[in-house]
Structure 1
Amino acid sequence: MTSRHIPPADRTGATRDTQSPALSLEFMAFRELHLPRYLSYARVWFREPGRAAEAVEHAFRALAAVWPEILVSSNPTAAAWQIVRGAVTEHTTRPAGPTDPGAVDEDLAILHYVVGLATPEIADVVGTDTASVASQLRHALRHDTEW
């Protein structure tokens, strides 16, 4: 049985400070929901799991710093995804930038074919609709995106 008062450890063994007054319940819920998928995505770009976890932690610190603005944006999940992508890109020599349309197809292909997420899950992670994800995955396959 797990105590709710003990910060849970992630798979790298690091603990999170869930008692920080600056972190809202909404932020912590968002983190719990998206952390496993963000880590799975980041692990594709790094050989060492610790580096992937570091990039994702960097992203969550950046998200926490702008969380009120994220919440009032037109699409909080999409805004958060861009921060995660940016943190992963910043921590690696990843060639594609966040505004590169090919990078979007590549990310969706990675989430689907490498991480193993279904299109509704991908839509939830990146903040878009399922039909858009399905269309972009078909586009990536047609254009033989190298990922």
Structure 2
Amino acid sequence: MTNRHDPVSSVEFAAFRELHHPRYLSYARVWFRDAAQAAAVVEEAFCALADAWPELLGSPNPTADAWRILRATVAERGDPARVPPQRPTATPDEDLAILHYVVGLATPEIADVVGADHANVASQLRHALREAADW
């Protein structure tokens, strides 16, 4: 039996972690040279998610809120050697492009990871592709 007051032992949290951990880790690996550092950052994000779990479950879009926590954790712990000075963090469109073109996720998978609808993700990917000429 799980303890609903302990998010880490809840079935919902365990399922969320199992679904999103590999994709979160793939995203973090883009930003960190060291695989262990990327894994540590993802673990830190999941600790923050566990702390916020009751509030996340009560929000209109828990997956989008969880993605924001991961992005904030990655940005906070970011490796400046990997990010050009003029680009301290990725924009949401760039994140989607990273998930699609670097990590290799399809549009429906990206939508599931970031908590967005498929049409919106497809539109943002088209926008990111058009903007890529300016990178």
Q: State the TM-score bracket (shorter-chain normalisation).
A: 0.7 to 0.9
| 3-state SS of paired residue (2:91) | helix
Secondary structure of the residue that 1:74 maps to in structure 2? Answer: coil
> SS in structure 2 opposite 1:128?
coil
- Indicate which of 24, 29, 54 corresponds to 1:38: 24
1:66 is matched with 52
Q: Give the number of equivalent residue pairs.
A: 122
Structure 1 moving runs of 4+ over 6 Å: none
Structure 1: tracts of 5 or more residues without a match: 1-20, 97-101
Matches of 1:66 and 1:140, distance apart in 2: 31
RMSD: 1.6
2:51 is aligned with 1:51: no
Q: Residue in 2 aligned with 1:90? A: 76
Distance 1:48 1:66 in 2: 27
Rounded Cα–Cα distance in structure 2 between residues aligned with 1:42 and 1:131: 25
Q: Which residue in the other structure is 2:117 paired with?
A: 129
* SS of residue in 2 equivalent to 1:66: helix
Q: Which runs of 5+ in 2 are unaligned?
A: none
Q: Specify which structure has the bigger relative contact order, considering alpha-carbon pairs within 8 angstroms and separated by 6 or more residues.
A: 2
**Structure 2 match to 1:142:** 130
Percent of residue pairs identical: 67
CA–CA distance in structure 1, aligned partners of residues 47 and 17 of structure 2: 11
* Cα distance in 1, alignment partners of residues 122 and 11 from structure 2: 32
How far did 1:25 drift?
Answer: 1.1
Match of 1:5 in 2: none
Q: CA deviation at 1:128?
A: 0.3
Instruction: String of CA shifts for 1:9-37, please: whole Å, max 9, x gaps.
Output: xxxxxxxxxxxx82211001100000000
Relative to the length of structure 2, the TM-score reads: 0.86
Give 2:12's aligned residue. 26
- Measure the CA separation in 2 of the matches of 1:91 and 1:41: 13
